[in-house]
């Protein structure tokens, strides 16, 4: 493994053999580098010995994570099925507008979670982006004006950048951790997610929780329309 990148929710490691190792961390999966001979514990699912003498540990208490070795063809097929990366400079409001028009009957929240539509956005960040863009999650993609699409594109990028800067979101249930056992600081900066019945930070109206496509959505009914 000489370089690691991300594609949607996959961690992608091209190998010298041409094969591609992909890792999907899901809920509780974690990768970390261990110096020397660190022992496996009961949640260690794989240890990869690296040429540098260190080893890459894959630890996953709940076992939802996946590690898969793909041929170059299999990886290319996966890559082609995925939507654009929100933090790629080519992801513009224009690109989002074209994709939204192609799926104009779809509700915007489930669409944002569809990895074929847009890669790498999860439930928490979709809620936060829609709140910042002041858009109701049940709006149909085709109903968004050019200005609303622009707001949404900017909100998605801003939320992801800030979350990465804060090293992710560790909720009070402690689910997400990274490295050996570190937590991310974005939970304190969430404006709607997990704030049901608390006052909206913009207008004071209580935040509501809705069930949309079997996922929970958090909105301010006053700010988002
Ligand atoms: Zn509000």
Structure tokens at 52: 């540098």
Residues of the chain with pLDDT under 70: 1-2, 173-175, 180
User: Given this model, what pLDDT does residue 217 score?
Assistant: 97
Helix (H), strand (E) at residue 14: strand 10-14
| pTM, two decimal places | 0.86
Nearest 10 degrees: CA dihedral of 44, 50, 53, 56?
-30
- Pairs from 97-103 (Cβ < 8 Å, separation ≥ 24): 97/144, 97/146, 97/149, 100/141, 100/142, 100/144, 100/149, 101/141, 101/142, 103/141, 103/142
17-73 pLDDT, tens digit each: 999 999 998 888 888 888 877 788 899 999 988 888 888 899 999 999 999 999 999
Can you tell me the distance from the alpha carbon of 101 to that of 93, in angstroms, rounded to the nearest whole number? Answer: 12
Output the CA 191–ligand 1 centroid distance in Å: 10
Q: What angle do CA 171, 137, 195 make, to 5 degrees?
A: 30
Output the CA 51–ligand 1 centroid distance in Å: 53
Output the CA 221–ligand 1 centroid distance in Å: 7
User: Given this model, what pLDDT does residue 2 score?
Assistant: 65
Report whether 24 contacts 65 (CB < 8 A).
yes
Output the CA 95–ligand 1 centroid distance in Å: 29
Output the CA 220–ligand 1 centroid distance in Å: 5
Output the CA 203–ligand 1 centroid distance in Å: 4
Output the CA 103–ligand 1 centroid distance in Å: 28
In which residue are the tokens 């979101």 written? 169
Provide the CA 78 distance to its chain's centre, in angstroms.
17
Can you tell me the distance from the alpha carbon of 180 to that of 19, in angstroms, rounded to the nearest whole number? Answer: 27
Output the CA 201–ligand 1 centroid distance in Å: 7
Structure tokens at 183: 């937590």
């Amino acid at each position: 493994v000489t370089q690691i990148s991300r594609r949607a929710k996959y961690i992608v490691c091209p190998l010298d053999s041409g094969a591609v190792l992909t890792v999907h961390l899901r809920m509780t999966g974690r990768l970390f580098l261990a110096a020397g001979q660190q022992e496996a514990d009961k949640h260690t699912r794989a240890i990869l010995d690296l040429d540098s003498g260190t080893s890459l540990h894959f630890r996953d208490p709940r076992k939802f994570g996946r590690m898969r070795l793909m041929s170059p063809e299999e990886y290319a097929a996966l890559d082609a099925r995925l939507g654009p990366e929100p933090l790629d400079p080519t992801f513009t409001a224009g690109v989002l507008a074209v994709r939204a028009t192609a799926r104009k009957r779809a509700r915007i929240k489930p669409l944002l979670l569809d990895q074929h539509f847009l890669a790498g956005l999860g439930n928490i960040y979709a809620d936060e982006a829609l709140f910042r863009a002041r858009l109701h999650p049940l709006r149909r993609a085709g109903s968004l004006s050019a200005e609303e699409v622009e707001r949404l594109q900017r909100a998605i990028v801003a939320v992801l950048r800030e979350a990465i800067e804060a090293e992710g979101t560790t909720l009070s249930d402690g689910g997400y951790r990274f490295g050996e056992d570190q937590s991310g600081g974005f939970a304190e900066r969430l404006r709607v997610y997990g704030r049901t019945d608390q006052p909206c930070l913009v207008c004071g109206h209580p935040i509501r929780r809705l069930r949309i496509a079997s996922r929970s959505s958090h909105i301010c009914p006053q700010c988002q329309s």
